[in-house]
Amino acid sequence: MFSTPFLDLPPLAGASGTVRLPGSKSISNRVLLLAALAGGTTTVHDLLDSDDTRVMLDALAALGCRIDRAGAGLRIEGLDGRLRTSGAKLFLGNAGTAMRPLTAALALLGGEFELSGVPRMHERPIGDLVDALVQLGCRIDYLGNPGYPPLAIHPVPLDSLQLAAPIRVRGDVSSQFLTALLLALPLAAGAASERADQASGRDITIEVIGELISKPYIEITLNLLSRFGIEVRREGWERFVIPAGSRYRSPGDIHVEADASSASYFIALGAIARGEGIRIEGVGADSIQGDIRFVEAARLMGAHIDSGPNWLAISRGAWPLKAIDLDANHIPDAAMTLAVMALYADGPCLLRNIASWRVKETDRIDAMAKELRKLGATVEDGPDFICVHPLARAGWRAASIRTYDDHRVAMCFSLAAFNPAGLPVRILEPHCVAKTFPDYFETLFSVAEAAEVPVLCIDGPTASGKGTLAVAVAYQLGYHYLDSGTLYRVTGLAMRRNGLEADAAHEMQIAELARTLPLRFSEGKVLLSGEDVSDAIRTEAAGMDASRVSALPAVRKALLALQKSFRRLPGLVADGRDMGTVVFPDATLKVYLTASAAQRAERRHKQLISKGISTTLDGLRADLEARDLRDSSRSVAPLKPAPDARLLDNSLLSVEQSVEQVLAWWQEVQPFGSS
Ligand SMILES: O=C(O)C1=C[C@@H](OP(=O)(O)O)[C@@H](O)[C@H](O)C1
Ligand SMILES: C=C(OP(=O)(O)O)C(=O)O
């Protein structure tokens, strides 16, 4: 996951390949709750691991559920309708699929609970659900604003509940209120049938008031209830009957499909990008998720889509895409993706009946309209619609996209990087994707192709601090990191271990070694044939060997291809001696870092002393000067600043100040205005 303050997406040109997507959020959280309410043990396979499922799992653990890893799956020992705690304070983040269903389940389970979430969760309505539960006889108080979390839930005896009359719930703000009742009320149906004295044999009826929105999510709920042994009778979308005596029965094992809403970004990618097309695995035509119908919308816009039971294959069809006018009420989450696809259409696209966007992770109509306008688009919006006009090449602007802590804003705006103007897109706070798809950007980068991946080079003499600076800058930008010096050091080490000398006679043999180096960088460690050689390559002797092998032209050539292969999306920070001059002459920014020999000797001295290696300052300084001379006078790629490099003398700067300076220069060469 990218935890950087922003992530710059370079202009993207094509995309090809296969992605396997993480599990469905809607299925995962329903299955977790049902497994917890049921008796027995349920093993859940392919569960989504994200913020939304983590808050659900934490909540269930707090209720006393035993949750263990079972191979790649998760084993949940259900409560069988009986709490193993008398109460708890539960933090549910911004997960609607945790807050709403848990409110209903806990109101029926008994116990004292407090349910809260992130500030935005406290602005997301829950009043219609609370009203329905209170009408039943449940006791729930608002701890903040009436109609919104946080909530206090108090215990009531199940046999005091008013189950005879239909339970009425509004369905026009969120379908999750109805889902919550459907998932939780079998608790009461089961309990009622256990009591011989009363209520036994009574069905529980729920009536929906107002036009139900997001209907396909109710189908997910009914489908999963059925897998847990509860067969709800549905009469249109107005009446739902939970038969008397219903009891949750664990299916034992259950598999979670890949998330169809997450698939929308990759379906769109296949429709927009040039290339061999995108194959999505884990979700397909047999999906129980309503958002699979995004496929229909993408086809309307011209995408070519083939599908099998649990796969989709998408490629570009009509181009530009065809404009659509769509009632998107059935696919509220995936429809946001259409709003960005609209930028590539042949006319304005109208998405209607989407009022619920306004009460989700953010006011999504407002957020989409604002951010699309930043890209240059003309957008009309109203209480329940958005109309997005396409953008001609000249109309595009480079923009910093605010994401409002909304995963879907972050994910769908990544598609703007395919703009024909070749402009990068900056996604602010990209870590918000953690709600449902923590590795979204990594997955995107595994299939997207950029015309040019940005590179920031930091060259300079030994002990100038370029490694520390480059690592810090790479971290800030979320870029890959290449320590090219390490490649030479590892080659030097391999040379020694093979009994070779760094001379012309062995040049070809060393070059062959370099070409086939079994080298891996893992968690800050340098692994050679699996052995951690991080320390072995950091000695002064290894440094000398590195310098010597680096003077051999055949070795440099062998390592060139290896170095270039580090240039991968979203970008690279490379440190070394010839990054800007030889390896990446077209780098976006080149920095040449220097410090006085005295300063560098002092830093190196401190470093070695801290590792318990004793040296003298004078000796170190003499070595450094000798190495500078050798590096700058070698015939191939001598150490010198690229003509277009910016010079940074860090003799008097702290690491933080140097990082700040390089990031300020980086910002200067970007086309983004302020956000
Ligand atoms: O039940 C569910 O799993 C969901 C229902 C939808 O919400 P609304 O019913 O509020 O539209 C959807 O937007 C949300 O992401 C998940
Ligand atoms: C609306 C969404 O989430 P939630 O489940 O929190 O409602 C969403 O994932 O787009």
CA–CA separation, 478 vs 192, rounded Å? 56
The number of the ligand 1 atom at minimal distance from the alpha carbon of 332 is: 13
The number of the ligand 2 atom at minimal distance from the alpha carbon of 435 is: 9
Task: Assign domain 452-479+570-675 to its CATH superfamily.
Answer: P-loop containing nucleotide triphosphate hydrolases (3.40.50.300)
Nearest CA to ligand 2 atom 10: 333
Nearest CA to ligand 1 atom 8: 174
Please give the structure tokens belonging to residue 204: 């529980």
CA–CA separation, 104 vs 176, rounded Å? 11
How many residues are listed for the chain in this entry? 675
Residue from 175, 261, 333 whose mutation best tests the ligand 2 pocket (most atoms within 8 A of CB): 333
Q: Which residues, other chains included, contact 619 with Cβ-Cβ below 8 Å and sequence gap of 6+?
A: none
Architecture of domain 25-255: Alpha-beta prism (3.65)
Cα torsion through 541, 544, 550, 553, rounded to 10: -110
ipTM at complex level = 0.99
Q: What is the pLDDT of residue 535?
A: 92
Nearest CA to ligand 1 atom 12: 333
Residue from 28, 361, 407 whose mutation best tests the ligand 2 pocket (most atoms within 8 A of CB): 361
Task: Assign domain 6-22+258-450 to its CATH superfamily.
Answer: Enolpyruvate transferase domain (3.65.10.10)
Nearest CA to ligand 2 atom 8: 333
Measure 426 CA to ligand 2 centroid, in angstroms: 23
- Helix (H), strand (E), coil (C) string for 317-373: CCCCECCCEEECCCCCCCHHHHHHHHHHECCCEEEECCHHHHHCCCCHHHHHHHHHH
CATH number of 487-563: 3.40.50.300
- Return the ligand number nearest the Cα of 178: 1
Nearest CA to ligand 2 atom 2: 360
Enzyme catalytic residues: 333
The number of the ligand 1 atom at minimal distance from the alpha carbon of 333 is: 13
**Which residues does the annotation place in the binding site for ATP?**
460-468
CA–CA separation, 399 vs 419, rounded Å? 12
CB 145 within 8 A of CB 116: no
Please report which residue ranges of 17-117 form alpha helices under DSSP H.
Answer: 25-37, 51-62, 96-109
Same fold, 6-22+258-450 and 452-479+570-675: no
CB 57 within 8 A of CB 67: yes
CA–CA separation, 441 vs 569, rounded Å? 10
Please report which residue ranges of 424-506 form alpha helices under DSSP H.
Answer: 440-447, 466-477, 484-497
Q: Where are the beta strands (DSSP E) in 476-537?
A: 480-483, 519-522, 525-528, 531-532
Pairing of strands 425-428, 6-9: antiparallel
**Which residues of the chain are modeled with pLDDT < 50?**
196-200, 675
Cα torsion through 500, 501, 503, 509, rounded to 10: 10
- Return the ligand number nearest the Cα of 93: 2
Residue from 24, 25, 221, 262 whose mutation best tests the ligand 2 pocket (most atoms within 8 A of CB): 25
CB 229 within 8 A of CB 246: yes
Measure 361 CA to ligand 2 centroid, in angstroms: 7
- Return the ligand number nearest the Cα of 177: 1
AA identity, residue 88 = A
Please give the structure tokens belonging to residue 477: 């930008």
The number of the ligand 1 atom at minimal distance from the alpha carbon of 218 is: 1
Measure 177 CA to ligand 1 centroid, in angstroms: 10
Q: 347-387 pLDDT, tens per residue? A: 999 999 999 999 999 999 999 999 999 999 999 999 999 99
CA–CA separation, 279 vs 290, rounded Å? 20
Nearest CA to ligand 2 atom 5: 96
580: closest CA among 516, 522, 638?
Answer: 638
Host H or E run for residue 643: none
Measure 78 CA to ligand 2 centroid, in angstroms: 25
The number of the ligand 2 atom at minimal distance from the alpha carbon of 408 is: 10
List Cα–Cα distances, 534 to 211, 272, 576, in angstroms: 64, 43, 17
Residue from 94, 175, 213 whose mutation best tests the ligand 1 pocket (most atoms within 8 A of CB): 175
Q: What is the pLDDT of residue 192?
A: 56
Measure 233 CA to ligand 1 centroid, in angstroms: 21
Nearest CA to ligand 2 atom 3: 96
Measure 25 CA to ligand 1 centroid, in angstroms: 10
What are the boundaries of each domain within the chain?
Answer: 6-22+258-450, 25-255, 452-479+570-675, 487-563
Q: Which residues, other chains included, contact 554 with Cβ-Cβ below 8 Å and sequence gap of 6+?
A: 507, 508, 510, 511
- Tokens 């429809």 sit at which residue? 335
Please give the structure tokens belonging to residue 259: 């998330």
Q: 592-648 pLDDT, tens per residue? A: 999 988 899 998 888 888 888 888 889 999 988 888 888 778 776 678 899 999 999
Q: What is the pLDDT of residue 11?
A: 97
Nearest CA to ligand 1 atom 9: 175
Please give the structure tokens belonging to residue 530: 């699996």
Measure 98 CA to ligand 1 centroid, in angstroms: 11
CA–CA separation, 55 vs 400, rounded Å? 30
The number of the ligand 1 atom at minimal distance from the alpha carbon of 221 is: 1
Q: What single-letter DSSP state applies at residue 647?
A: E
Residues with CB under 6 A from ligand 1: 26, 96-97, 174-176, 179, 213-214, 217, 332-333, 356
Residues with CB under 6 A from ligand 2: 94-97, 333, 360-361, 408, 436
293: closest CA among 305, 278, 281?
Answer: 305
Q: What is the pLDDT of residue 198?
A: 47
Q: What is the pLDDT of residue 305?
A: 98
Residue from 50, 94, 97 whose mutation best tests the ligand 1 pocket (most atoms within 8 A of CB): 97
Nearest CA to ligand 2 atom 1: 360
**Which residues does the annotation place in the binding site for phosphoenolpyruvate?**
25, 96, 124, 176, 364, 408, 435
Measure 96 CA to ligand 1 centroid, in angstroms: 7
Would you tell me the crossing angle of helices 617-633 and 540-549 to the nearest 10 degrees?
10
Please give the structure tokens belonging to residue 371: 């951010």
Q: How many CB atoms lie within 10 A of CB 99?
A: 27
Q: How many CB atoms lie within 10 A of CB 610?
A: 8
Measure 390 CA to ligand 1 centroid, in angstroms: 28
Nearest CA to ligand 1 atom 10: 174
340: closest CA among 369, 361, 381?
Answer: 369
**Which residues does the annotation place in the binding site for 3-phosphoshikimate?**
25-26, 30, 174-176, 214, 333, 360
Measure 92 CA to ligand 1 centroid, in angstroms: 15
